[in-house]
Amino acid sequence: MTTGETQLLQATDRALTAARRLSHENPEWTGKALRIYLSGKGCSGFEYGASFDARDAADESLQLGDVEFVVDPDTAKYMRGSTIDWVDDERGKGFLVENPNHKKFRGKFFKRDGWQEKLIRS
């Protein structure tokens, strides 16, 4: 990150705790980074995805506590400064991106009934 450049992303304590828990509960994800990516763009803004994945050479990487996040260069252009949160409420269960670059949009990663299946396939 150069001087004056906005940090790639931030994560809430809830998001970090959820990432650690998911990694611990799924041995195939242990030791892998949490990849955040754009999966599409709809009328209401960007749609996001997440998966536990190995880091690619071109990825931007950020270590927050004991959780590593990776983002491909194209995604990084659009989500710089975003906050990753974890929700488990009436909106559903899953990671949530709050992107200040899209003030009217909060993109939820996972749908209420299939968040874990989507995470596994992502």
Q: What is the pLDDT of residues 52-106, one digit of tens each?
A: 999 999 999 999 999 999 999 999 988 889 999 998 887 778 888 888 876 544 4
- Exposure string of 36-57, with b = 16+ CB inside 10 Å and e = fewer, is bbbeeeeeebbbbbbbbeeeee
Please tell me whether the overall predicted TM-score, pTM, comes out greater than 0.75 for this model: yes
State the pLDDT at residue 118: 38
Alpha carbon distance 21, 11 (integer Å): 15
Q: Does domain 9-121 have CATH number 3.10.20.30?
A: no
Indicate the domain borders of the chain. 9-121
State the pLDDT at residue 4: 58
